[in-house]
Structure 1
Amino acid sequence: MPRSKKPTQDAGPSSGKRKAPSKKTSKQPVNYDDTKFETEGAWLVYKNVTSARNIIPERRVLISDFANELLGHVIERNKWETFVATPRVAYVEIVKEFYANIHDNLDNPEHPQYQQVYMRGQYIPFSPLAILRYYGLDNTETDILQAPNTNLQEVVTSICQGIDHWPDRSSTLNYKCLLPEVRTLDKMVSANILPTTHTSTVTMERARLLHWLQTKTLNIGNYIFSNVWHIRNNRRCLAFPSLITGLCEMYGIDLSHEITRVKRIMQIDRIGIRSSEQHMTRKSERSTQGPDGGQSSVLGETDPAQDDPMAEDFHETVTELKGQIREAQVQEAEFHRREHDALSRQMTQLLSYFSVYPPPPPQ
């Protein structure tokens, strides 16, 4: 039931002197659904922060397209076949409530709710081990990421082309500076490990991670757990929706009444990579050319006439529409399945009832 906090009043000292009237400082009662939020503070975080954040969905990798490339080798070395498989359906409210309920002592071993998050009236495990179990991975401690200590010069040498050092006075480098095979790996990293919407630039953290994955394994449980904690304490987009929804289901949270799904993004495959590269190349060319085809006087500024939509390659749009159609078909099939299950339950109840109370014979 909704929880209500009674207003409190400050009791002043007893005195014969009259005091000037002061403003009331009593706290107004707050009603919130305690089956969804552990505390009033969690509800306020949901109301003021997480409810307005966007969500970055995980992406499937078509492994067969990259079997003999860096991305395929990384997946094979880490045994990530299930990790990069088709993400399960994720629900918006589940994800936003989850992030709102992450408490300050999530990583405190002495706290009663250590590595647990309150969800729909119960605590569910959320730990590196729980994440590994969800993906069916071993809890290996080999090659734990030490990326923050990696020398940037070593990183640039191993993952970049056309530059010999990290850009001066910059915390990022241009995505186009990455080697082609590293750019492909970055597609997966930017969706499933270190989610971001800023894919045209590469942060130092992401660059170090890409360098690390070239030759080493990564404990994905530790890394995602730390990343979720970091997202909770910053105003970044919410991430790992399929993982969070899957953990809730795995530990008994009822999802049958959830409606709004997290929108999926197309899988990572060879056709999509090629189309994305072509799109970014054209976009870069238009940003550096003026109306007469020469260099623009202002970097990134172009004549609106140059941005003719008909000049775009519509492959990405068509691919996205096909994905939306498939998603709609999946939703329709699931709706019919639920309707069928509901009718089956009703029929079973009716048969059970009539077995105890048979109807009277016809007159």
Structure 2
Amino acid sequence: MAPKKVKGNLGSSSSFDRTRFVSDAAQARYEHAKINRNPITERGFRRQREDRYVGPLVDLDRRSWEKFGAQPRAAVVSIVREFYANAGEKTDDKAFVRGKLVSFDSEIINAFLETPEVDDSTFQALVANPDYTVIIDTLCHPGAIWKPVGGSPSCFDEKYLKADNALWYLFLARRMMPVSHKSEVQKERAVVLYAISQGYPINVGKLINSQILISVNNRHIGLFFPCLISELCAMAGVVFRDDEEWLQPMKPICIQDWQRKYAKRRLEFRTDEGDTGGSSTAVPRRQQPHRRSLNEKVDETLAFMAHQERVNLNHNEHISYLESMMHTMMAHRGVDPGTIPPPPPFISPFNFQYDYQPQGNASGVPPPDNDEDE
């Protein structure tokens, strides 16, 4: 009888929602995530015909990452939070979500994203023993330096990345190794970015699986891959309610918009190509625009007024031509032109020739109304 009594006490003391969570601790993690952890949404590339020869898009095709590089679909926020709350209870890359067992191992992720299973032993060797000097020199323009923490490299400023690497980093920071603040490139992401730029084989499923586990075990960072997690839950048969909160992905990466922004930003960090030492030179401060004198402003105003008068004349000629055409058409159809009111005259806003008509004569008597004569 004693074991039954203990079992009854455990059941009565449990207060978590068994339809959504596997334990009290899982529900507590869910409540903590609702307040302190936000999903870090993904984004992909918006591919256009004129961008097909851009370096990163060529690499996506070469690596067979077409679906992986595309814009993801929306995520279900409550599903994502329940997934991460329950994933901490298991250690086999699986999580219970609303009664369904959702797997997030590398094989399942690769199968959904249609990314190939590759031998990434060379990439793993690079991660285990990176040469940070070679990495920063390859990825960045001259002038970039590692910021040390505890005597070892930690990060560098993202603004020094070369063009293709900076474009890849936008994608990597949302689809491969999520981060909410991208102003600095952490050394772990710099290693992956270097591997991409040098053509190392990368197992996407294994990399994303490791990042999901990081998010599961760290309660102080955001919830990674909400769009992917929602898709995996749907594949496992998890039913979404009609009143679920949906989270749209970030705006897709537009190559042309990004190129304009990058070119504008690089004006401040332009390098001197003639300097064999590789040092960077600052761009001179932009000169102040020429201050126009009063005479120049008057001349420009008069020239503009003359232009407007020419526009006025051309407009009147065009109206006269249209009137003649209308009269011809009305005569052909037997319509009396006198029944059609004339169009209003075009008045230029820069016509300063005023025809002042006094409202009365010297004796104060207003002039006769000329409309009666007509």
TM interval, short-chain normalised: 0.5 to 0.7
Corresponding residue number in structure 2 for 1:190:
173
SS of alignment partner, residue 124 of structure 1: strand
Q: Does 1:122 align with 2:95?
A: no
What are the superposed Cα offsets for residues 45-68 of structure 1, whole Å, 9 maximum, x if unpaired?
Answer: 111235531111111202346432
* TM-score, normalised via structure 1 length: 0.64
Q: Does 1:46 align with 2:33?
A: no
Corresponding residue number in structure 2 for 1:311:
none
Cα distance in structure 1, aligned partners of 2:221 and 2:210: 14
SS of alignment partner, residue 83 of structure 1: helix
Cα distance in structure 1, aligned partners of 2:133 and 2:232: 39
CA drift of 1:251 comes to 1.3
Preserved CA contact (<8 Å) 2:146 2:156: yes
Indicate the percent of aligned positions where both proteins have the same amino acid: 24
SS of alignment partner, residue 32 of structure 1: coil
The answer for unaligned runs of 5 or more in structure 2 is 1-6, 270-285, 287-374
Preserved CA contact (<8 Å) 1:91 1:258: no
CA drift of 1:158 comes to 1.1
Cα distance in structure 2, aligned partners of 1:84 and 1:138: 13
Change (3 A) 1:139 1:103: same
Preserved CA contact (<8 Å) 2:154 2:186: yes
136, 145, 167: which one aligns with 1:156 = 136
Corresponding residue number in structure 1 for 2:65:
80
CA drift of 1:168 comes to 4.6
Cα distance in structure 2, aligned partners of 1:66 and 1:155: 27
Corresponding residue number in structure 1 for 2:205:
221
CA drift of 1:76 comes to 1.8
**Which has the larger Rg?**
2
Change (3 A) 1:198 1:263: same
SS of alignment partner, residue 45 of structure 2: coil
Preserved CA contact (<8 Å) 2:88 2:217: no
Cα distance in structure 2, aligned partners of 1:164 and 1:187: 18
Cα distance in structure 2, aligned partners of 1:115 and 1:68: 38
Change (3 A) 1:41 1:144: farther
Corresponding residue number in structure 2 for 1:98:
83
SS of alignment partner, residue 171 of structure 1: strand
SS of alignment partner, residue 210 of structure 1: helix
CA drift of 1:166 comes to 2.8
Cα distance in structure 2, aligned partners of 1:249 and 1:43: 21
Corresponding residue number in structure 2 for 1:233:
217
RMSD: 2.8
The answer for unaligned runs of 5 or more in structure 1 is 9-26, 107-113, 285-292, 294-363
Amino acid at match of 2:234: E
Q: Mean Cα displacement is larger for which, 125-134 or 71-80?
A: 71-80
* TM-score, normalised via structure 2 length: 0.62
Q: Does 1:270 align with 2:232?
A: no
Preserved CA contact (<8 Å) 1:143 1:216: no
Corresponding residue number in structure 1 for 2:232:
247
CA drift of 1:198 comes to 1.1
CA drift of 1:28 comes to 8.8
SS of alignment partner, residue 112 of structure 2: helix
SS of alignment partner, residue 239 of structure 1: coil
Amino acid at match of 2:119: E
Corresponding residue number in structure 2 for 1:178:
161
Cα distance in structure 2, aligned partners of 1:102 and 1:35: 15
